[in-house]
Structure 1
């Protein structure tokens, strides 16, 4: 740092820059307000980074604007002052009761049905990304030149399931007229829940009247809008068919489960928060078995269009997680369900234990540098809380399945949080391994967490870690060596290692043929496109 720039001088320079280049009024500049509140967006931050780098004679990363989002904190950091961006972790008493994962069900792009096919998909390094199926958005071509231009300019890349209109209503004892009005997310979660119970070796009928909880992440309700676009077509099934709350309730109703039944909407973290709440419910005794996961379908172009306008989506059609080519994420769809049980109960019942959840934590960014901008301090705090709850030293962790959306600034912020909390105390020869299944599947939003969770569970079971797909050049804004991080970039080879210590043995086996998926769904008008 050159001597002529002290904290006050940098503060004055930043104010002058905001007034001259952003158009701020000097009277409205609050030194302790996030720069985002002063209309400094991502592209502005990149330009400002270049100006500051030239001014100070050293490289400044755009990530610093998210790490130190106010004029005061940024000026202090740039002049070598001590700025502690890390919020204190909440004081957590580790629970004595670990939670066992005893079954998985999933439906993911790439024609993945179930954990065995999912593992094969991952180890073969396949991608589920393709262009949007032609029939999905065709109905939105309504002849309007304005809408046609908007649709033509909307990203076509995505990670899509096949036959989202296929459903065996008779198997689930649902009348055709009710099935027609059911959100396909309800249908999909019913099927995947059935398959998860089969994988766990639990006869579904044995759960009737039991304290089994359902915790389902879901955050979009496009079908509710599409299926009620014409008021004359609304009937008695339309309300329950389109309600987000019914996504979880439908599962509880069909299987006759009496535990908590909650649809969780926390956007991209929905299915992980669902797992967290399921664990809490098991530990408190509200549930004796829990079905936790999430579901997401991309039925209309509106949200994609909005994210396009926000410059959040990848123009290359890939989530280049932690790679220098990171240019945004790709939207995707899918569903997953984990069958959870208190570990002591799973051991008592002779269940196969695929993995164990020792602890978890949830928090919020609060007032970050923008509503959609991550908060590094909050990320570090929730990591510390989770490992405190688990009773695990962060430096003992070998691998983290990261969020890893493949955004130029989001990945470095997440990497810094991981490196700060988990990288300390590691030797250069034993870095923390990280990866993101979004490189294979895209961003499944409400189902993103369960997709990553299932990958981690399968990696434990097989004692191998699938590689990040297409990882080539490290993101230049991530100091991997300094943070003691390494992206898994080599596919697993050779036979799996030994099974994890304490892994249970399945002694109760029950299988049922996967339900036949007949096509069903709205038959005409706006409702046909929703199916």
Structure 2
């Protein structure tokens, strides 16, 4: 019955779009990519309403955006009491537990040409230095940026940790046009690539997760990408540069139906993303979760701001706890981990890379300055995390 309905849907699509061969229509390709617009989607619905006798909404192609999903919906409507392999996964039942969370997959990009967790470990173990000069392919005016560090509009350092290939992206792999890809914040592009790689590292096939309650929690900060881009990108810049879209784009591309949140809590964004993902897993809001974050500095603004505050180390290197400490250093990077409840990971035979027993989040409250750290608050959040982990 499902196969018969899929043939019907393909034939109807071919009729509406004047397509010569219904059998060449990819059932997993979105209607938008097949060439549907608002008028032809209504025509599709009218044809199917007449053929099936079902009462179908005009938003049919938006509610079920691929031929496969539409066929599954029609199958369910025509046989509401039949359970088949094509029936969507039912929503998870909310449960609350203090069960540990397992990390089962990882993917990352960091300065020093780091493209895997193994390479990151090697860099740390060997004590290599990944700090280098400003990038030359981002349109920064390097001649004036470090001309006189005492003047407004200049930087007190010319060094940082950079992803020099942040402009590289395989748009075709994700069915994104070159024009749209250019309008997408590099942070979003990185997270999309890392989501795929992290899932594969966990032994999960990204193409098999559609319609599953998999969550996405990404930490991200605005970076002013695209604000001075050419007008050819208009129409894609709003979604391409909105931080809120970062998690949604991953969910949309892979067809994930769990929670999708983009979080900006400044330097702690990735950790807060992991914290919220763990809570969602324990509460039964999702069965698997991607969590992490990305930072790519599209403009040198953060260097300029901290230069005026006299907070940058001239050599671009943080020397925390050392006598020669003279300021902070800025760097880029991106990382995602794959999380499951420990019992689920063990039942599925996943490799357990680490276990998160507990975490916590708090804020300083009225401390000595908006951005100044507060020792007692940090002690409290550590104690709370230990308590949540039953330690």
TM-score when normalising by structure 2: 0.72
Shift of residue 167 of structure 1? 0.5
Instruction: Check if 1:183 corresponds to 2:182.
Output: no
Shift of residue 162 of structure 1? 1.9
Shift of residue 96 of structure 1? 3.0
Flag the 1:280–1:224 CA change in 2: closer, same or farther, 3 A: farther
Q: Tell me how far apart the structure 1 counterparts of residues 236 and 137 of structure 2 sit (CA, whole Å).
A: 25
Shift of residue 135 of structure 1? 3.1
Gaps of 5+ in 2: 1-95
Q: Is the 8 A contact 1:185 1:297 kept in 2?
A: yes
Residue number among 203, 210, 213 corresponding to 1:211 in the alignment: 213
Q: Tell me how far apart the structure 2 counterparts of residues 136 and 130 of structure 1 sit (CA, whole Å).
A: 15
Match of 2:240 in 1: 241
For 1:89-108, list aligned pairs within 5 A: 95-108=97-110
Match of 2:58 in 1: none
Match of 1:452 in 2: none
Shift of residue 195 of structure 1? 1.2
For 1:297-446, list aligned pairs within 5 A: 297-392=296-391
Match of 2:124 in 1: 122
Q: Tell me how far apart the structure 2 counterparts of residues 380 and 148 of structure 1 sit (CA, whole Å).
A: 37
Cα distance per residue 1:266-303 (max 9 Å; x no partner): 00000000000000000111110000000001121122
Cα distance per residue 1:379-418 (max 9 Å; x no partner): 11100000000011xxxxxxxxxxxxxxxxxxxxxxxxxx
Q: Tell me how far apart the structure 1 counterparts of residues 148 and 113 of structure 2 sit (CA, whole Å).
A: 35
Cα distance per residue 1:361-382 (max 9 Å; x no partner): 0000111100110111111110
Residue number among 135, 138, 152 corresponding to 2:137 in the alignment: 135
For 1:5-154, list aligned pairs within 5 A: 95-139=97-141, 150-154=152-156
Residue number among 197, 200, 212 corresponding to 1:198 in the alignment: 200
Match of 1:222 in 2: 224
Q: Tell me how far apart the structure 2 counterparts of residues 180 and 320 of structure 1 sit (CA, whole Å).
A: 36
Q: Tell me how far apart the structure 2 counterparts of residues 224 and 287 of structure 1 sit (CA, whole Å).
A: 33
Flag the 1:254–1:174 CA change in 2: closer, same or farther, 3 A: same
Shift of residue 146 of structure 1? 10
Cα distance per residue 1:176-216 (max 9 Å; x no partner): 11111111111111111111112111110121110000000
Q: Is the 8 A contact 2:180 2:233 kept in 1?
A: no
Shift of residue 149 of structure 1? 5.5
Q: Is the 8 A contact 1:137 1:301 kept in 2?
A: no
Residue correspondences, number: 295
Match of 1:266 in 2: 265
361-370 vs 218-227, which moves further: 218-227
Q: Is the 8 A contact 1:224 1:243 kept in 2?
A: no
Q: Tell me how far apart the structure 1 counterparts of residues 149 and 137 of structure 2 sit (CA, whole Å).
A: 17
What is the RMSD of the two structures over their aligned residues, measured on CA atoms?
2.2
TM-score when normalising by structure 1: 0.53
Q: Tell me how far apart the structure 1 counterparts of residues 126 and 343 of structure 2 sit (CA, whole Å).
A: 35
Q: Is the 8 A contact 1:95 1:389 kept in 2?
A: no
Q: Is the 8 A contact 2:148 2:154 kept in 1?
A: no
Q: Tell me how far apart the structure 1 counterparts of residues 226 and 338 of structure 2 sit (CA, whole Å).
A: 28
